Amino acid sequence: MPSYLNALGVVCALGAGKQAVADALFAGDSSGMRAEDGWVSGRQLTVGAVHAELPAMPAGFEAAHSRNNQLLLAAALQIEPELRQAISQHGTLRVGLVLGTSTSGIREASEHIARYEQDGQLPHDYTYVQQEMAAPAVFLADWLGVTGPVYCQSTACTSSARALLSAHRLLQQGICDAVICGGVDSLCRLTLNGFSALEAVSPEPCNPFSVNRNGINIGEAAALFLMTREPAPIALLGGGASSDAHHISAPHPDGLGARSAMEKALASARLQPAQIDYLNLHGTATRHNDAMESKAVHTLFPADLPCSSSKPMTGHTLGAAGALEAAFCWLTLSEYNCGGLLPPHLWDGQRDPELAPLELVQTGARLSRDQGRHLMSNSFAFGGNNIALIIGDAP
């Protein structure tokens, strides 16, 4: 059974709010990706920062201040009326809240610890709870007054895709009548230095599936859905998860776990590969990820399936990526995309002859039909953690 995606709040390098993000997404606007100093010593890196003004913490929640929570609040405020209505309708105990994150308040914690090393004492506003992974969910639940199941999941780059699957399960099992779900991650030096140490970060804009690709760009974002069993135009039709545990940071070279997740998603949605109209690729622009993903997709789907990676426009938003790219699928099907456009694939056009060929979307390409549409979004993570989601027109 599907679960319905009744509302969406979103903020990322493309902008803040559904229409602003949709306009930039379908135009292939990568102007939010900018070269910045200061994240990694001695390196200038292209990052996908949010440049929109973020809201102050609500009165009484000053102690919960972090950039992560500000991003989350920015997304929540966009759909606050829908969230409050769902809580009023179903009661606080019947509304759950599930988020994915990989940074939580680590940005602020790292800055405070640096102050400790310099001054010999922690700043007065340091609070340990802000760096705990559950902090974003606890803050949002307290602000909204939600008392159903409340938790965060942190499975690296699949975190918020997994949060959507968990929300779907809470609804299908009758534990909740509505679930607020999504993901949030903020830029921080700890994360960027970690990926730099893995030699996975590109100083230039990322270039997925190109022979010239040389790594990822990191971004930040928040994407928040209201998911219920009440019919709405757009639904989460299915999803699949796998864990091949091939390597601590590298994917299985043959994409076995990725293919398994996609096959499980198709089975749960009762669809055949030929019924997928568009695939949002994980598409990180690292050597190994693009190689295995292109192989997995090529062996499962028809050769003419339109595919694209949206990361050249947003950066890889890590724990928020699954929800953000599900949001791009939602926007593709929504009234905010009046032209039926597809998210384009931005790259240099230089195909890698060693990669399995994919039909990469050009700017201005459109969905082939206007009803009964099915879109898939892939998310892959360290440890061989893989998730595929299928979002489509409500059946």
Q: Which amino acids are annotated catalytic?
A: 157, 282, 316
Nearest to 224 by CA among 257, 253, 181: 181
Cα atoms in the 13 Å half-sphere on the side-chain side of 346: 18
Q: For residue 177, what are the contacts with CB-CB under 8 A and spacing of at least 6?
A: 90, 94, 95, 171, 228, 229
d(CA 306, CA 382): 26
The contacts of residue 88 (CB under 8 Å, 6+ apart) are none
Residue 52 DSSP label: S
Amino acid at 149: P
DSSP 201: B
Residue 132 CB: number of other CB atoms within 10 A?
A: 15
Strand partners, 3: 236
SS3 of residue 126 by DSSP: coil
Report the C-alpha gap between 35 and 343 in whole angstroms. 23
Q: Which of 237, 228, 242, 378 is nearest to 310 (CA)?
A: 378
* Phi and psi, residue 336, nearest 5°: -75, -5
188 vs 78: CA distance, rounded Å: 25
> Which helix or strand (DSSP H or E) is residue 393 part of?
strand 385-393
How many whole angstroms separate alpha carbon 295 and alpha carbon 158? 20
Q: How far is CA 143 from CA 11, 59, 147, in A?
A: 19, 10, 11
Token digits for 206?
């990322």
